[in-house]
Structure 1
Amino acid sequence: MFKSRLFMNLKGISSAFIPRFIFQKNLDKIFNEILKYKDFELEHIATRVNYYNKIKSHFSIENNKVNKIGKLPFKNTSYAYDAYEISKYFKDSFLWNKKFSDVNYIFSNPTICKSRPIKESSNNILLNLDKNRHFVFIKDPLKFKEKKDIAIYRGAVYQEHRKKFFESYFNENFCDIGDTGKHDSLYKKNFLSKKEQSKYKFIISLEGNDVATNLKWAMSSNSLVLSTKMTCETWFMEGKLKANEHFVLINNENLLDTINYFIQHPKQAIEIINNAHNFINQFLNRKKEFHISILVLAKYFYYSDQLKINQKEILQIFQ
């Protein structure tokens, strides 16, 4: 993790010194590239753009909270560099409201952020931020039937909802759950890598301050994801996930029954795992993800009356 974060920081710092005008002159070219997608692809792109950015009318930037997007990102680095990868294609003078941290509340004004409550939150405009930590997928060589018949979880246990979950299940032999946070805890256990955790048939996913950090890679494994009710979402569109179709819904009482059921019904478990993989497939085309990100920000700057867009077809995507 340290090496990957160091590499990310070095890459981010170096890219920040490339003159932004080099990227900005390519924005119309990028719009024209987007319009070359087939109709069904453009429809999917439009659906995602308007899911992340739900603004439907013009608005004014709130002056006391704004930042110029041309500012070099040397704070909140993982968020800032991910945002800079997209914002550098827009004029330095453009302004935005942004919040580079965990967000589990609704803003009063349109604001760029990583996360938001799943309930209606049109002012929280999502970009794929802190990708190095949150947006990770794995290749799992083990089949479901080859894995251990218990559930696994490792993570920091600070929040009350995680503590209550641990109070229910920490000493049970049908699961192996452990607190790996940097604090004194009754639930301390050793760290386990993603590879080690994916040796278990069931991976537990628990929300933290906003979303569950492990959800994306766990859903890309060949293990069955067991998750408590989700309340927040990110670029992964957690609000689109359906219980018992993409993951299995659990609570502080039904974990044992859930594990026993899917041990006895492995075909149903594999069907849910395959559905999870199919959901993930939409995020694997890096070029398309870049184009969607550009459109999310373009829509923000267009409706804040900062960006003029000549291509009518691009404006139609925002409808």
Structure 2
Amino acid sequence: MSDSLLYKLRSGKPPKILFFLKGYLQMCVPNGFYRIRRKEYLKQVETRPDRDYIYERVNYYNKMQYPVELPDKILHEHKHSYYVYLDEIKNFRPSTFHKAYYFDLQYAVRWFSRSLRIAYIPGDVYFTPEFPSIVKSRLLKEDNAYSVILKLDKLRHFIFLNDPVPFSQKRDQAVFRGKIRLSRIREKFLQKYFGSSICDCGVVGRNEGYPEVWMTPKKTIREHLDYKFIMALEGNDVASNLKWVMSSNSIAVMTRPTCETWFMEGKLIPDYHYIEIKDDLSDLEEKLTYYINHPVEAEQIVKHAHEYVAQFFDAERERLISLLVMDKYFQMTGQNNN
């Protein structure tokens, strides 16, 4: 058995084959079954005790306040790390972009007419679209209303876990394993802390042209949990490990996020949900040493992080929010979604 296959079996990440099998099985259910149920299904929101919370999240993901028509054209454009799609729902197929994005999109849009038009940009989005578009991630800036967030690529990004190791029993170090992929903050981190006693860090995967000494074997999620602190450094957009780190008994350490996803990274409170370090990383050792010496305060951060991730555990509510985000999208783009 190859090291690569062995790692995949032990990594702690959900197997892709089960995700895709479930997606294809769901395609066997006629879309009309969902469409005729949509209005009655969404009515239940009005009688739920968490109604206000649901609408708060809907309006957070979809910040559109004024009607905007989509451009009267069709786009199917491949870019470097993303894809621009502007067309009817029915024309986005499994082969159009990565299948994970296809199934995640269908989870929300199959409840609506297949002739409705969407602008959809799957992939790592680190810019603001020119017109209202469905995205996985958006920049944390004021004028980002055209970036409408859905829960996309959740197989990779939305992993939560039960950590059996108490914070007090973990190593007094931070750990980082990842690729750099032109990430300024990750490169700076490796330059500054590779080989230091406070951080166990290294680059995994294919060498991208960085010092060979940085290359190191991968660690499974379970192996990360041996450390009190886990670096959650942004890559092309968000740090994909942040969700499972915050559900663990370790603490996420990162700079202030510049992008956000369905996880609402923009709502995270520094030194309350995670340990925040300066953009130049100069205070990393100081901050880690402080929380090593103040374990009660550290465990409060773990507790607050667990409280934050818990809001995403209600699968029924997550689906309702997704449908309402899309319902608002079609309304604000002037389309009849009856």
What TM-score do you get using the length of structure 2 for normalisation? Answer: 0.87
1:8-87 equivalence runs, <5 A:
8-38=19-49, 41-64=50-73, 65=75, 66-71=86-91, 72-74=93-95, 75-87=97-109
The reply to whether residue 276 of structure 1 matches residue 287 of structure 2 is no
| Alignment partners' CA distance in 2, 1:167 and 1:116 | 28
Q: Is the 8 A contact 1:67 1:95 kept in 2?
A: yes
Q: Displacement, 1:308? A: 5.0
The reply to whether residue 246 of structure 1 matches residue 273 of structure 2 is yes
The reply to whether residue 122 of structure 1 matches residue 152 of structure 2 is no
Partner of 1:265: 294
The reply to whether residue 139 of structure 1 matches residue 168 of structure 2 is no
Q: Is the 8 A contact 2:277 2:283 kept in 1?
A: yes
Partner of 1:174: 198
| Alignment partners' CA distance in 1, 2:324 and 2:191 | 45
| Residue correspondences, number | 307
What are the superposed Cα offsets for residues 214-246 of structure 1, whole Å, 9 maximum, x if unpaired? 101001100111112210000000000011111
Match for residue 211 of structure 1 among 238, 245, 248: 238
Match for residue 334 of structure 2 among 288, 305, 314: 305
Partner of 2:226: 199
Q: Secondary structure at the match of 2:174?
A: strand
| Alignment partners' CA distance in 1, 2:302 and 2:54 | 24
Q: Is the 8 A contact 1:102 1:210 kept in 2?
A: yes
Q: Secondary structure at the match of 1:30?
A: helix
Q: Secondary structure at the match of 1:8?
A: helix
| Alignment partners' CA distance in 2, 1:161 and 1:282 | 29
Q: Secondary structure at the match of 1:217?
A: helix
Q: Is the 8 A contact 1:69 1:95 kept in 2?
A: yes
| Alignment partners' CA distance in 2, 1:213 and 1:198 | 16
Q: Displacement, 1:17? A: 4.1
Q: Displacement, 1:155? A: 0.7
Q: Is the 8 A contact 1:62 1:97 kept in 2?
A: no
Q: Displacement, 1:123? A: 0.4
Q: Is the 8 A contact 1:114 1:235 kept in 2?
A: yes
RMSD, matched Cα: 1.5
| Alignment partners' CA distance in 1, 2:228 and 2:318 | 30
Q: Which moved more, 1:100-109 or 1:58-67?
A: 58-67
What are the superposed Cα offsets for residues 246-287 of structure 1, whole Å, 9 maximum, x if unpaired? 111124211111111111100110111111111111111000
Q: Displacement, 1:63? A: 2.5
Identity of aligned residues (%): 35
What TM-score do you get using the length of structure 1 for normalisation? Answer: 0.92
Unaligned runs of 5+ in 2: 1-7, 76-85
Counterpart amino acid of residue 16 in structure 2: R
What are the superposed Cα offsets for residues 129-176 of structure 1, whole Å, 9 maximum, x if unpaired? 000000111100111101011111111122232111110000101110
Q: Is the 8 A contact 2:125 2:138 kept in 1?
A: yes
Q: Secondary structure at the match of 2:176?
A: strand
| Alignment partners' CA distance in 2, 1:307 and 1:295 | 15
Runs of 4+ in 1 over 6 A off after TM superposition: none
| Alignment partners' CA distance in 2, 1:43 and 1:23 | 25
The reply to whether residue 288 of structure 1 matches residue 311 of structure 2 is no
Q: Secondary structure at the match of 2:57?
A: helix
Q: Displacement, 1:15? A: 2.4
| Alignment partners' CA distance in 2, 1:122 and 1:267 | 40
| Alignment partners' CA distance in 1, 2:292 and 2:325 | 42
Partner of 2:248: 221
Q: Displacement, 1:35? A: 1.9
Match for residue 177 of structure 2 among 135, 154, 158: 154
Match for residue 116 of structure 2 among 87, 94, 98: 94
Partner of 1:188: 215
| Alignment partners' CA distance in 2, 1:63 and 1:217 | 41
